[in-house]
Amino acid sequence: MRSRHILSAASALTMGVALVLSSAPAAVAAPAKPAPSMLEALQRDLNLSAEQAQLRLVNEARLGKLEGKVRTDLGAAFGGSWLSGDTANSLTVATSDASKVGVIQAGGAKAQVVTRSLGDLTALKDRLDAATAPQTVPVYYVDVKSNSVVVETRDQAAAEAFVAAAGVDKAAVTFVASSEQPVPYYDLRGGDAYYINNSGRCSIGFSVTRGSTPGFVTAGHCGTTGSSTQGYNRVAQGTFQGSSFPGNDYAWVAVNSNWVPTPTVAGTSATVSGSTAQVVGGSICRSGSTTGWHCGTVQQIGTSVTYPQGTVSGVTRTNVCAEPGDSGGSWISGTQAQGVTSGGSGNCSVGGTTYFQPVNEILSVYGLTLTTTGTPPGGGTCSGYAATTTGSVSSGGNAYGAQFTANAGTHRLCLDGPNGVDFDLYLQRLSGSTWTNVASGTSSGPDETVTYNGTAGTYRYRVHGYSGSGSFTLAYTRP
């Protein structure tokens, strides 16, 4: 039997908010080349030169990796993070523990000591989510820059009553006067439109597969489970397999053999290589069948927005404009898929605020695999999982994923390594301050699969290079 060695978490380089793995030490890889149309939209909407737009994407990739490592190092003391500067050349990380300032600054980020951790703020917003928001409170969210929960409202008294009813300390809330009246975007036209029951129209978000079944993700308000779809050419296309709205705003459609999933974003040359989530302050672009490409920045993550039909939670707030007809369309940063258009306010003549449903949640809920460019390094043995990520590990080294909170249920993991190496896969659970292996795949080859039925808790993934070095793909479905 081979000897197994577990390195401490401190020896690993954790990259990104979503699961991105790398051995330590490792050089920062250059981001994949973005589509020319995206660079043009970044220049136009963020008022950047071509050089500034390219530099911004490089900085976002570099600082995004740093943010992931610092987030893990801070643990419960993490208070949020944000990018700033025209080229996103500055990362600020907040902490509720003043003794952690040195940890933040050691990586080259700016430190800001705050009263409340991100966990504290999220718990407060969860209380608001458990209450019923009045129609005069269109949006509320955790704002890491102000270290508070922001409640936007057209009626101050009603907003204060909402906060009080939820049992949230008013001192932790910032009330902002707002004239927003967000609505979901229905009745799409042109581009990659599709029709629902030969009537309403919406836009495709991203191509996906579930096992061997092809399809796409889109907005939940576009159709209900069982609704039929027809493509832009009115040819029979597919059926809604799952849909959630309000509460969430996501759905997926299984298509027939006449339709082939591709990693291309409709109407552009942009292609998708993954789904690593952008951080607050990072640039993001949207493609919609009504208004085409428009770009801006991420303002808040995990926002709750109240539509006439009810509140949708967990969407991302941006300053990108959109209009009716853009609903369900693609959101992308560089080559990383971000989500599908939900709704918003304003328009692309005067500007506006738009919300999108993060794509990783849709993939996880329905057990979907995002269609991306390229093939897994070991030949594509992992399919039918909710999400995938890539990384690399050296012989004898370890690569760790960012820790995550999981519900009770079944974890499914699949590691695909290059031929000629021996990589092992571990699922670890946090017990107190110690990481414990709870499941593993340790065969003498490059590929491993793990299935584990676990309790709710904090977990992470570990890839060990028992013999040989190289890149790998890790696919996973979380409970």
Let me know how long the chain is.
479
Half-sphere exposure of 441 (CA within 13 A, CB side): 22
> Which entry of 45, 249, 422, 424 is annotated as an active-site residue?
249
Q: Rg of the chain over CA atoms, in angstroms? A: 22
Catalytic residue flag (residue 192): no
As to burial, measured by CB atoms within 10 angstroms (0-12 exposed, 13-18 middle, 19+ buried), residue 396 is middle
Catalytic residue flag (residue 117): no
Catalytic residue flag (residue 294): no
Task: Write the DSSP string, 8-66.
Answer: -GGGSEEETTTTEEEBSS-PPPPPPPPPHHHHHHHHHHHT--HHHHHHHHHHHHHHHHH
Q: How far is CA 418 from CA 13, 331, 385, in A?
A: 21, 31, 19
Cis amide linkage into residue 246, ω under 30° from 0: yes
> Which entry of 45, 178, 221, 447 is annotated as an active-site residue?
221
Find, among 369, 358, 384, 381, the residue nearest to 448 by Cα: 381
> Which entry of 22, 275, 283, 327 is annotated as an active-site residue?
327
In 167-231 the beta strands, taken as DSSP E runs, fall at: 173-177, 183-184, 193-196, 200-203, 206-210, 213-218, 228-230
Q: How far apart are CA 34 and CA 412, in angstroms?
A: 32
Q: How far apart are CA 204 and CA 326, in angstroms?
A: 10
Q: How far apart are CA 288 and CA 202, in angstroms?
A: 10
| Residues recognised as catalytic | 221, 249, 327
